[in-house]
Amino acid sequence: MRLSGRSGISRALYVTALGKRVVIVRVFVKKTQKTPWREIELARSRAKSVK
């Protein structure tokens, strides 16, 4: 997801869970064109705990 706010453009990383549930696992303000690897790894580790 792409969100705009006072601090700039933000990104939300999410996963779909059972049924129609969507869980947002990480939101961060994007400062560069490329998504930082640290943000992706943090989202992956949080997504593993979603059931």
* pLDDT 10s digits, 13-44: 888 877 788 888 888 888 888 888 998 899 98
pLDDT exceeds cutoff 80 at 6: no
Whether residue 9 contacts residue 33, with contact meaning beta carbons closer than 8 Å, is answered with: no
Distance CA 18, CA 5 (A): 30
Instruction: Name the one residue in this structure whose structure tokens are 């705009």.
Output: 4
Does 11 have pLDDT greater than 80? yes
pLDDT of residue 41: 92
**Distance between CA 2 and CA 46 in Å, rounded?**
19
Q: What's the pLDDT at 15?
A: 87
Note the pLDDT of residue 37: 92
